[in-house]
Structure 1
């Protein structure tokens, strides 16, 4: 998944990883570089599939 944020997190507005799921609070859980990261839904501008060739 590609996730674009309204404001930078860890120095970047664009993050790419594997979708794990949603929390009860509707936050988005993603695995990025073997680390599980949670994005607050209100901070996310865009989520889309990342196509790799």
Structure 2
């Protein structure tokens, strides 16, 4: 589920922020992945309706 993915991502980002790496770029990548997953879920949900 998307909400669980968001929680997982933010938890990962909190852990990453303790390290000296560019976690902003990683957050962007995680959000892109989540966006694709959300779009896929929306498309497959629509297919299930018909």
Greater share of helix: 2
Greater share of strand: 1
TM (normalized to structure 2)?
Answer: 0.23
Q: Rg: which structure is higher?
A: 2
TM (normalized to structure 1)?
Answer: 0.22
